[in-house]
């Protein structure tokens, strides 16, 4: 039977949800930055850059995310501390949230690279050729031509990556991040009311997904303004 203290632990779930959202936003943003660089590197980089990016995206997509998280976290932490030691500095203990953002960001980056590469290829080439003919610098062409033109093609894939990021924060419990699933497990362990707290965590994940879908739909309508309506769209 649940006690008053059990209900009081519900606040810990909201704390966990807050951390999950912070990690998801940070990881998605980092992955998007990596994806923009990766997509441009794959499309316009030299042979060495393209080969390195191909290895990166292939490995990330081939290895299960749980295994990648453990490898990147432990190997990455060790490499950072070795570099600090070589520079004469002491080791550091990376916090759970920054570590989670970094680990998931690397994973998200590989998928974002492929989503954005496909979106760039979907841009009518006449727009890009016209910008080049006018002598538009690459950075200006990226801001004024490439990004606005590719958004309608990229948003569905990026939306899926955002939803995946929110769910994959649950895997970070293995490296000590106090995200929603971890806090639900802690509360269930303390009260033995596992079903109650994990059901509540599931409801919070669902609420986050539904809110995300509303925001994504509005962004997609904004990005597609002036374009023909999609079949089945409301």
152, 226 Cβ separation under 8 angstroms: no
Helix (H) and strand (E) counts in the chain: 10, 0
Burial class (CB in 10 A: 0-12, 13-18, 19+), 165: buried
pLDDT, residue 93, reads 74
**What mean pLDDT value characterizes the chain?**
85
pLDDT, residue 178, reads 87
pTM for the structure as a whole: 0.84
Q: Which residue intervals of 45-168 are DSSP H helices?
A: 47-62, 65-86, 96-121, 125-133, 138-141, 147-168
Nearest-angstrom CA–CA distance, 4 and 203: 21
24, 32 Cβ separation under 8 angstroms: no
Sketch out the chain's domains with CATH numbers: 22-178 (1.10.3720.10)
pLDDT digit string, tens, across residues 22-68: 999 999 999 999 999 999 899 888 899 999 999 999 999 998 888 88
pLDDT digit string, tens, across residues 172-222: 888 878 899 999 988 888 888 889 889 999 999 999 999 999 999 998 888
Nearest-angstrom CA–CA distance, 199 and 228: 41
Dihedral pair phi/psi, residue 3, rounded to 5°: -100, 175
């Amino acid at each position: 039977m649940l006690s008053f203290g059990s209900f009081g632990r519900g606040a810990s779930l909201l704390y966990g949800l807050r951390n999950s959202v912070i990690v998801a936003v940070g990881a998605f943003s980092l992955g998007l930055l990596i994806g923009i660089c990766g997509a441009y590197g794959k499309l316009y980089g030299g042979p060495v850059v393209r080969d390195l990016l191909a290895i990166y995206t292939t490995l990330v997509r081939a290895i299960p995310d749980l295994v990648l998280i453990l490898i990147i976290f432990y190997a990455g932490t060790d490499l950072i501390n070795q570099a600090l030691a070589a520079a004469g500095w002491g080791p550091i203990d990376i916090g759970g949230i920054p570590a989670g953002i970094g680990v998931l960001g690397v994973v998200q980056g590989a998928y974002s690279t492929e989503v954005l590469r496909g979106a760039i290829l979907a841009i009518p080439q006449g727009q890009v050729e016209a910008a080049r003919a006018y002598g538009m610098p690459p950075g200006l062409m990226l801001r004024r031509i490439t990004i606005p033109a590719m958004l309608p093609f990229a948003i569905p894939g990026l939306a899926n990556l955002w939803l995946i990021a929110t769910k994959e924060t649950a895997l970070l419990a293995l490296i000590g991040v106090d995200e929603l699933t971890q806090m639900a497990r802690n509360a269930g362990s303390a009260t033995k009311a596992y079903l109650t707290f994990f059901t509540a965590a599931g409801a919070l994940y669902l609420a986050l997904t539904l809110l995300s879908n509303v925001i994504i739909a509005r962004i997609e309508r904004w990005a597609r303004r002036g374009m023909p309506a999609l079949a089945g769209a409301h």
